[in-house]
Amino acid sequence: MFQLSLGSKELFHSNFLYWLWKAEPDAFWKIMSGFNIIQEDGMEVYREKNNFDFSIYNKDGYVVAVIENKVKSVPDKVQLEGYDSKIKKILKNKPDKIEKNKRILLSLMEPDFNDSGWKRWSYWDYLQILNNLEIKDKYHANIVDDYRNMIEELVELKKEWVGDKEKIMSMNYTDITDPEKSKLAVELRINDLRQKMIFSKMFSILEQELGKKLGKENLKKGKTVEQILSETKTEEIKLAIGFGMTNATGFIDIKVNIENKYILGIQLQGDQYRHYIEYGKEPTQEPNLNKFKDLFNHGDIYSTKSNKICSFKNKNKEKTFYYVYQNKDDSVCGKTIGDVINQIVADVEYLMKKY
């Protein structure tokens, strides 16, 4: 069962619910009642209809419930807001139907927001409902038992890997990429999930700490250099933060806008801690970095062999952006995750004050 789930971690769980609706409808509706979705005559269940992960429509063709499954991925508020708009459009902006619509976020990882209008259920909550199912067919019961055991293992692994804030802050940062520490996750082919869980928690804590120091209203999520430096942007973006996965490792990125000409930033990727400068327009010659030579109080930015000038093209706009960086290889070695987060906060504060 677990190996089958690896092919498409999110879709697998929604497909299981769809199968259960077909094979054991009473058990399916018991799960839905646990989510406060009440069965009515003529209801139909759909996968990927209107791009919703999992949805339920009544006999009149109105969507009455949407379930967004997040196992491998981190809950995304912008994505949910997009679904909200789509739901309103489908329901033709009828307030009574919109108000009754159930929007369920079923996620392994906690969202870093709580005002989305979606009711969040954890996989631990889900497990409690699964533990009380009665399955009529013996073969179906075996499938449900295997699925339930898999969910239980995922919940336990999450506790082991992440835990609470105190546990994550005291964890040695290099444990994230240590082959011995990640051996089980690698064997189970879910090390990407392990890293994403840890980096998700780190990012959530970092966002809180930066919000305390600089004000939540000054933090923008997931903005690209094009969006920050664009001459046609609709909002002034001073500080942008984001995280994700790249090259099978976690990635945290902080961008500080300087005079709408440069990005001064910090990147954490795997065991590399980088300081960088990014240019939004292609210079006619190699950029002059003298004005930033004291960046982060680490001297000349060209002082180490790890410095490189890289360029990449935006496929849509065919613009070139110069990216100059310097690795700080001793910045994470032997440090706790708490130490690394505090270093990022200190560096961001320095940038905001200095430039």
Q: Is residue 287 part of a domain?
A: yes
Please tell me the total count of domains within the chain: 2
Looking at the structure, tell me whether residues 117 and 205 fall in a common domain.
no
Average pLDDT, the chain: 81
Two tokens at 212? 């305390």
Q: Residue 137 has what pLDDT?
A: 95
What confidence score (pLDDT) does residue 4 get? Answer: 43
Q: With 90 as the cut, is the pLDDT of residue 16 above it?
A: yes
Residues 101 and 207 in one domain: no
Angle at which helices 191-214 and 138-161 cross, to 10°: 50
pLDDT surpasses 90 at 333: no
Residues 32 and 116 occupy one common structural domain:
yes
Same domain, 206 and 129: no
Q: Is the dihedral of CA 110, 114, 115, 121 positive or negative?
A: positive
The tens digit of pLDDT for each residue in 147-196 reads: 999 899 889 888 888 888 898 999 998 888 787 878 877 777 778 888 88
Q: Kindly state whether residues 216 and 329 are assigned to the same domain.
A: yes
Which range is most confident: 8-17, 41-50, 185-194?
41-50
Which residues contact residue 162 at a Cβ distance below 8 angstroms, ignoring those fewer than 6 apart?
Answer: 168, 197, 198, 201
354 compared with 80, residue with greater pLDDT:
80
128 against 325, higher pLDDT: 128
Spell out the SS3 assignment of 211-230. Answer: HHHHCHHHEEECCCHHHHHC
Mean pLDDT of the region 196-204? 88
Does residue 184 belong to any structural domain of this protein? no
pLDDT band at 206 (very low <50, low <70, confident <90, very high): very high
Quote the percentage of the chain above a pLDDT of 90: 35
Greater confidence (233 vs 117) lies with 117
Task: Count CB neighbours of 207 within 10 A.
Answer: 17
Residue 323 lies in a domain: yes
220 and 315 belong to one structural domain: yes
The token pair that represents 163 in the structure block:
């835990």
259 located within any domain: yes
**pTM assigned to the model:** 0.74
pLDDT confidence of residue 100:
87
User: Among residues of the chain, what percentage have pLDDT more than 70?
Assistant: 81
Q: What is the pLDDT of residues 209-248, one digit of tens each?
A: 999 998 888 888 877 777 787 766 667 888 999 888 887 7
Indicate if the pLDDT at residue 24 is higher than 90: yes
User: What pLDDT does 110 receive?
Assistant: 82
Residues 110, 234 share a domain: no
**pLDDT at residue 258 greater than cutoff 80:** yes
269 near 251, Cβ under 8 Å? yes
Q: Do residue 130 and residue 270 come from a single domain?
A: no
- The CA distance from 269 to 246, in Å, is 8
The Cα 72–Cα 199 span in angstroms is: 12
Regarding predicted confidence, which is higher, 347 or 193?
Answer: 347
| Residue 183 domain-assigned (yes or no) | no
In a domain, 185, yes or no: no
Q: Are residues 154 and 210 in the same domain?
A: no
235: containing domain: 196-354
Sign of CA dihedral 121, 122, 123, 125: negative
Tell me, yes or no, whether 182 lies in a domain. no
pLDDT recorded at residue 288: 59
Predicted pLDDT of residue 10: 60
Asked if residue 168 is part of any domain, the answer here is: no
Same domain, yes or no: 20 and 157: yes
What's the pLDDT at 65? 95
Give yes or no: residues 139 and 221 share one domain: no
**Do residues 40 and 100 both lie within one domain?**
yes
Query: CA nearest 339: which of 268, 276, 275?
Result: 268
Tell me what pLDDT residue 332 has: 81
More confident residue, 53 or 323: 53
